[in-house]
Amino acid sequence: MEHGLILAIISLTSLITVIILFKLVYRHNPNCNERYGGEIVLFHSDERYKKRVWRFNLIEELRTQKNKGKINENLTLKLIVGEFSENTQEIVKHAANHGFTSITVIAGPNVFCEDRTEIYTILDKYPIVNYFILSERPTKHFMIFNNTHLYVEKPHRHTETRGSVGIKKCNKELLKTYQQAFEKILTLAKPLTKKEVLNQQCYKD
């Protein structure tokens, strides 16, 4: 009788421990901080694929929400990048194919020479994409997804990639800072048509 009792106690404790472990440990528990946002993800410089997938998923998520009627306004994407490179082109194309109605790209004065025709194609195919260039290559790169989510890159040179941070449900104050900066930079940027892109300055290797 006493043995049975001990066994029962041990079994119960084990069962409870296991349930607690499942509850506490195995749950989606993203990094979050009130001052920054609801879900903060850090990407290391070598995680190129992860960065891409995160942004692609975010774009798809936004479209699903829009289709379900959870988002009423039009989907917008604002980017400031060093140059309209292959990575950026993929994001822009993905967004354009997933119901985004306004995409604004601000980049530095130079592009990679081989990208010029591709940019021409994008501007030709998607009239919703607006391309602006600045007189100086911006060092602070970020993307604002539909005025709610933010993606910030660590400053880097055009020849390298660095770590970056993705923030879902970004803090309003923080997002406002970036929004305002974007609007200000936009007033100082020069719009580029698809024909001008073909003659844009490019990096000489």
Partner 1 sequence: MDLTHLIPEFLVFSLAGSSLSIAAYSAFRDRNDDKKLLLVIATCFIMGFLVLFTLTFLTLDNLTSLQYTFALIFYFLIFMAVLGIMGFVIRRLIVDQRSKDDELESAIDIIESSKDGLESFINLLESQKGHK
Among 60, 138, 169, 194, interactor with partner 1 by CB under 8 A? 138
Q: What phi, psi does 127 have (nearest 5°)?
A: -70, -15
Contact 42, 165 (CB under 8 A): yes
Give the binding range for partner 1 (CB under 8 A) out of 3-11, 58-66, 93-101, 122-130: 3-11
Interface with partner 1, residue 49, by CB under 8 A: no
Distance CA 82, CA 127 (A): 22
Among 93, 154, 158, 169, interactor with partner 1 by CB under 8 A? 154
Give the binding range for partner 1 (CB under 8 A) out of 63-71, 107-115, 158-166, 191-199: 158-166
Nearer to partner 1 (CB atom), residue 140 or residue 157: 140
User: In the 8-state DSSP scheme, what is residue 115?
Assistant: G
Interface with partner 1, residue 79, by CB under 8 A: no
Interface with partner 1, residue 191, by CB under 8 A: no
Closest CA to 156 of 48, 6, 14: 48
Interface with partner 1, residue 53, by CB under 8 A: no
Interface with partner 1, residue 155, by CB under 8 A: yes
Secondary structure (3-state) at 37: strand
Interface with partner 1, residue 165, by CB under 8 A: yes
* Token representation of residue 8: 């029962």
Closest CA to 182 of 80, 75, 101: 80
Interface with partner 1, residue 140, by CB under 8 A: yes
